[in-house]
Amino acid sequence: MTFSASGRMPWRNALVSGGAGFLGSHLCERLLAGGVAVDCADNLASGSPRNIAHLEEDKAFRFLPLDISDASCVRELSGPYDLVLHFACPASPADYLRMPLETLDVGSLGTRNMLAVAERDGARLLLASTSEVYGDPLVHPQREDYWGNVNPVGPRSVYDESKRFSEALVTAHAAARGTDAGIVRLFNTYGPRMRAHDGRAVPTFICQALAGEPITVAGDGSQTRSLCYVDDTLDGVLSVAASKSVRPVNIGGSDETTVREIARRIVKLTGSASPIACIDRPVDDPERRRPDTTLVREMFGWEPRVSWEEGLERTIAYFASLPEMPDAPPAGVPARDL
């Protein structure tokens, strides 16, 4: 099943954890457009009220300022829901390095609480996992049956291992209790509502280019990533949500390119004269990243439709339209990931 931006959806009431974040807010918006009533649960640790301000007047939308890692949230989330989208987690390096214990909590306690809500209501639960479960992969491209190459005690481990544990917990509930639950592994999604300097390359490069500051590329920029525009990611997420799939499903772009090339593209599209400056590369930064999307193509007929040029132009336009352009980060502060 595929969904257009305004297509009617098969659910009546949905819960989106982390719904005030970048991806979560887009999900709330898309669900409302599809006729679904939405409860958005977020403690705003990394999300922003600005992301959902335009939804507040919709009577089918409700914002609940809750910490889903706290067991009391299960009572507060009264539902009943027929869809639970678990997207709460600090996803940017700046956030999960600042909140390491909270990141581990939301992947463990938070996931357990979202499973409790889904099981109570007989809802379909979909976990937003990540390409980070593959670590610095030794297999390329990365297929869902690859177990990964993750440093369990490195600086990125609080995020990587949080997601790996979340996947194990969801899989165990599905096997032991028959919970209707699935997993999507998202690769390098970008688009409007990303935070300017949250440590991810696309928004950091855009803000630096618009400010005329040097583009800070980690290392020599030869490491690769595969970008996927937010609208395409949402199509894949909702297709898996509407299925009975339990196994993890990769969702990501096929346009694998170097980080240096991404910087060049952004400089060109912004018309900036910003130079590219190489800085120290972070520990455990993956060398190559591209999803094998055979499974999602064959099972759901999904593939990205928004070109990198169109997606970056939309994202640049968003940042350029902000009433106050954020200052570029100081030179030497790395964009750690995408």
**CATH number for 53:** 3.40.50.720
pLDDT above 90: residue 198: no
What does the radius of gyration of the chain's CA atoms come to, in whole angstroms? Answer: 19
Q: Which of 137, 144, 115 has the alpha carbon at shortest distance from 251? A: 144
CB-neighbour burial class of residue 30 (10 A; exposed 0-12, middle 13-18, buried 19+): buried
Q: Does residue 20 lie within any of the structural domains? A: yes
CB atoms within 10 A of CB 266: 24
Give the range among 151-155, 199-203, 246-250, 327-331 with minimum mean pLDDT. 327-331
pLDDT above 70: residue 327: no
Tokens standing for residue 90:
């600090």
Give the residue, 196 or 123, on which the prediction is more confident.
123
CB-neighbour burial class of residue 284 (10 A; exposed 0-12, middle 13-18, buried 19+): middle
Q: Which of 273, 276, 251 has the alpha carbon at shortest distance from 262? A: 276
Average pLDDT of the chain is 93
pLDDT above 70: residue 28: yes
Q: Does residue 294 lie within any of the structural domains? A: no
pLDDT tens figures, 275-291:
999 999 888 888 999 99
pLDDT above 70 covers a percentage of the chain that reads 94
- Give the pLDDT of residue 325: 56
- Give the pLDDT of residue 332: 42
List of residues 6+ apart from 264 with CB closer than 8 A:
276
Q: Does residue 204 lie within any of the structural domains? A: no
Domain that holds residue 236: 13-189+228-251
List of residues 6+ apart from 111 with CB closer than 8 A:
86, 127, 165, 166, 169, 170
Rounded average pLDDT over 309-322: 97
Q: Does residue 291 lie within any of the structural domains? A: no
- Give the pLDDT of residue 3: 58
Q: Does residue 164 lie within any of the structural domains? A: yes
- Give the pLDDT of residue 323: 82
Rounded average pLDDT over 17-32: 98
Q: Does residue 309 lie within any of the structural domains? A: no
pLDDT above 50: residue 336: no
Rounded average pLDDT over 146-158: 94
* 288 vs 222: CA distance, rounded Å: 9
Rounded average pLDDT over 306-323: 96
Kindly list the catalytic residues. 159
Q: Does residue 45 lie within any of the structural domains? A: yes
Query: What pLDDT band is residue 79 in, cutting at 50, 70 and 90?
Result: very high
Query: What pLDDT band is residue 8 in, cutting at 50, 70 and 90?
Result: confident
CB 213 within 8 A of CB 333: no
* 264 vs 231: CA distance, rounded Å: 23
CB 121 within 8 A of CB 80: yes
Q: Does residue 133 lie within any of the structural domains? A: yes
Q: Which of 240, 276, 246 has the alpha carbon at shortest distance from 173? A: 246
pLDDT above 60: residue 174: yes
Number of domains in the chain: 1
- Give the pLDDT of residue 179: 97
- Give the pLDDT of residue 294: 97
- Backbone φ and ψ of 201, nearest 5°: -65, -45
- Give the pLDDT of residue 334: 42
* 92 vs 317: CA distance, rounded Å: 22
Query: What pLDDT band is residue 330 in, cutting at 50, 70 and 90?
Result: very low
List of residues 6+ apart from 49 with CB closer than 8 A:
20
Report how far apart the first and last C-alpha atoms of the chain are (Å, whole number): 28
Tokens standing for residue 137:
């992969």
pLDDT above 50: residue 228: yes
